[in-house]
C-alpha cells in the first residue's frame, strides 16, 4: 500500500499560489490582486470584486479539503479574466486495486452521474503519473478535472481547473491540459501487516 506524501504541478509565471488557511489567506489574495493591478492598472476598478471572488474560491477550496490552489487574474477586453487550479486528495470506495481499474471505476462513476451529463469523460495518460480520468465541461465557463489514482492506494488526487470566461474556453482547456501534464505525485510504500 502506498501513502501520498506530496504532489507538484507547474503553474505559469503569471499565476499566484493562494494560501488556503482561513486565518492567513487574505494576504495571498490581496497579493494576487495587487500583482494583477501592477501588471495592468486597468484592473484597479475591479479590485474589490476580484478580492471577493478569490476569497470565495479559497474558502470553497479549503472547505472541500484542497491542499493547493493557484489563480490567474488578467485584464481582457471583456473585463477581468480569472482562472483557478485546485488540488484535492480524495478516497475512493473499496479496496486498492490497479491504477487502470481505479480509472475505469472513476470514469464510470462520473459518466453515470446525471449531474455530469454534459461532461466529456476520457481516460488519458499523464507523463509523470500515468493513467488518469479527464473530465471537461464547457457551459457558461470551463471546468477541466483530472482524477489521478495514487498507485496501490484507495486515494486519488483531483486536479480541478476552472474559469468563468466562456469566450476563452478552448484556450483555457489547452492551458489546463498542459498544466496537468506537469503533475507529479510523491508517494512512499508503507509496510504491510507482515512487514
Task: Put residue 94 in one of left, alpha, beta given phi > 0 → left and psi -120 to 50 → alpha.
Answer: left
Whether residue 40 is contained in a domain is answered as: yes
Residues 108/123/90/20 CA torsion (nearest 10 deg): -130
Q: Is 13 helix (H, G, I), strand (E, B) or coil?
A: coil
> What's the CATH code of the domain at 173?
3.40.1000.10
**Prediction pTM value:** 0.88
147 in any annotated domain: yes
Residue 113: inside a domain: yes
- Residue 152: per-residue pLDDT: 82
169 lies in some domain: yes
Sign of CA dihedral 99, 104, 107, 110: negative
Domain-embedded: residue 45: yes
Terminal CA-CA length for the chain? 12
Which letter does DSSP use for residue 185 in this model?
E
The predicted pLDDT at position 192 comes to 58
Max Cα-Cα span within the chain: 63
Amino acid 91: pLDDT? 84
Q: Are 157 and 87 in contact (CB under 8 A)?
A: yes
Is there a domain that residue 193 lies in?
Answer: no
Domain count, the chain: 1
Residue whose C-alpha is closest to residue 140's, from 112, 104, 165? 165
What is the C-alpha to C-alpha distance for residues 145 and 161, in angstroms, rounded to an integer? 6
Its domain, for residue 141, covers 2-187
In a domain, residue 109? The reply is yes
Residues 152, 92: Cα–Cα separation, whole Å: 12
Cα distance between residue 62 and residue 69, in whole Å: 9
Residue 192 lies in a domain: no
Q: In tens digits, what is the pLDDT along the chain, a chain of 195 residues?
A: 677 778 899 999 889 899 999 999 998 899 888 888 888 888 889 899 989 989 999 999 999 989 999 999 887 777 788 899 999 998 887 667 788 888 888 899 899 999 888 899 999 999 999 999 999 999 889 999 999 998 888 888 999 999 988 888 999 999 999 999 999 988 777 665 555
Amino acid at each position: 500500500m502506498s501513502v501520498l506524501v506530496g504532489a507538484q504541478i507547474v503553474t505559469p509565471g503569471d499565476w499566484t499560489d493562494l494560501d488556503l488557511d482561513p486565518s492567513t489567506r487574505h494576504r495571498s489574495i490581496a497579493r494576487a490582486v495587487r500583482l494583477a493591478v501592477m501588471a495592468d492598472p486597468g484592473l484597479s476598478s475591479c479590485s474589490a470584486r476580484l478580492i471577493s471572488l478569490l476569497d470565495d474560491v479559497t474558502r470553497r477550496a479549503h472547505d472541500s479539503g484542497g491542499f493547493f490552489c493557484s489563480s490567474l487574474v488578467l485584464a481582457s477586453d471583456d473585463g477581468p479574466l480569472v482562472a483557478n487550479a485546485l488540488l484535492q486528495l480524495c478516497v475512493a470506495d473499496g479496496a486498492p486495486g490497479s491504477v487502470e481499474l481505479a480509472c475505469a471505476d472513476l470514469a464510470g462513476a462520473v459518466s453515470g452521474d446525471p449531474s455530469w451529463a454534459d461532461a466529456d469523460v476520457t481516460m488519458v495518460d499523464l507523463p509523470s503519473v500515468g493513467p488518469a480520468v479527464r473530465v471537461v465541461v464547457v457551459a457558461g465557463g470551463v471546468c477541466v478535472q483530472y482524477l489521478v489514482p495514487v498507485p496501490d492506494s484507495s486515494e486519488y488526487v483531483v486536479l480541478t481547473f476552472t474559469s468563468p470566461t466562456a469566450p476563452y474556453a478552448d484556450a483555457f482547456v489547452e492551458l489546463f491540459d498542459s498544466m496537468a501534464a506537469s503533475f507529479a505525485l510523491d508517494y512512499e510504500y508503507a509496510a504491510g501487516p507482515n512487514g
